[in-house]
Amino acid sequence: MQILAALRRHDKKLTKQLQKLESELSGVRAATAALGKSAGKEIRATTKSAKKSAKRVRKMTREGSLAISRAAKKRWAKWKAKKG
């Protein structure tokens, strides 16, 4: 029963957070609408650039890749030697 009570408390907490975020979102949308379409374009552009920077992929150097490959081969050779 304690687990069930804890889950219910957590559910209430998350519901309150959701309501708070939804009200914030509606406020931001209202402000955007009040400022006009140009503000909406700026917000979307900022969001896209933030997503783009978050998706940046780090590229590994050839040396780093070779080092990882050698280490993996060494581990497999050690495992195979133990196996028989």
Q: Residue 76: inside a domain, yes or no?
A: no
Q: Residue 14: inside a domain, yes or no?
A: yes
pLDDT digits (tens, 9 = 90+) for 19-75: 998 889 888 888 888 877 665 566 666 666 666 666 677 788 999 999 999 999 999
How far apart, in whole angstroms, are the C-alpha atoms of residue 7 and residue 20? 20
Q: Which domain holds residue 46?
A: 1-52
Number of domains in the chain: 1
How far apart, in whole angstroms, are the C-alpha atoms of residue 35 and residue 84? 73
Q: Residue 69: inside a domain, yes or no?
A: no
Per-residue confidence band for 84, with pLDDT thresholds at 50, 70 and 90: confident
How far apart, in whole angstroms, are the C-alpha atoms of residue 54 and residue 39? 23
Q: Which two tokens stand for residue 37?
A: 């379409």
- Among residues 70, 74, 52, 72, the alpha carbon closest in space to that of 62 is found at 70
Radius of gyration of the chain (CA): 26
Q: Residue 34: inside a domain, yes or no?
A: yes
pTM higher than 0.85 for the full model? no
Query: In the predicted model, is pLDDT for residue 80 greater than 70?
Result: yes
